[in-house]
Amino acid sequence: MAQSAGEAGTPEQQPEQQPEQQPHQRRQKNLAGGRFGSRRLLLFVTVLVIELTIFFLAMAIPMDATQQKSLYTEGQQIVQSVKGQGPLDEFSGIFLNNVRIALIEAVPFVGPVFLGYSLFYSGEVVQALAVLSPTPVPPLILGAVLFLLPHSLVEFTGYAVSVTAGIMLIWAGIKKRLRIEIRVYAKEVLVAVGVLLVAAATETSLDVYPDLAFALWIPIIIGIVVIWVWLRRAHTRQGQVAPTVPL
């Protein structure tokens, strides 16, 4: 009798345990797509703001005349090497240079440091070009004008995606979820390359067809929305297949 009573009580206990386990499992499965997705968005926006801050800060900090002349010469050489070619050569030159920078920025630990250095240097070059050009303009005004053109913001977005991917890989390693994150990392690096491809094509198009300066904002905004939706879905799918134990 006691044995059959124990057997009878067993089915009654199991349904009580299942509701306790299922929410925990769902939380574990959605961790990569939920918490990691939220952190990723916040980190991406933070990196983008830091990029703009460094770039404009470099333009605002005065330099001595010798340094300005040196950077002006370097800037002119860069412009001539890129703009002094045909459209296809210009596009490939811009794209390959930007991808090289983005791939370095995607390296964990190294990327953020290189990002700060490259953007500060770029800001100083823009300052020198603004001050020493035949028709001088305030450096911050020139910087603001650059961001009225779509390729500048798109380029900075590509760099921000690369740095974000590298930092999130570090975070995933700390949380012992590296195997989950490495797939997202690879996808985001490819997204950064795609964004920089668009940036290079846009910049080249503006040199060939200057009248398209503002019209190109329309397809770029649509593209940004499409990429963001795709990334969110990728992160959600990644979270749904996540195991219930740390990797």
pLDDT in tens, 49-90: 999 999 999 999 999 999 999 999 999 998 888 887 889 999
Per-residue exposure over 121-155, b if at least 16 CB sit within 10 Å of its own CB, e if not:
ebbbbbbbbbbbeeeeeebeebbeeeeebbbbbbb
* pTM of the predicted model as reported, rounded to 2 decimal places: 0.79
- Determine the Cα–Cα distance for residues 222 and 209; give it in Å rounded to an integer: 21
Q: What does the pLDDT look like over 22-44, one tens digit per residue?
A: 554 444 444 445 555 688 889 99
Cβ proximity of 191 and 102 under 8 Å: no
Cβ proximity of 216 and 150 under 8 Å: yes
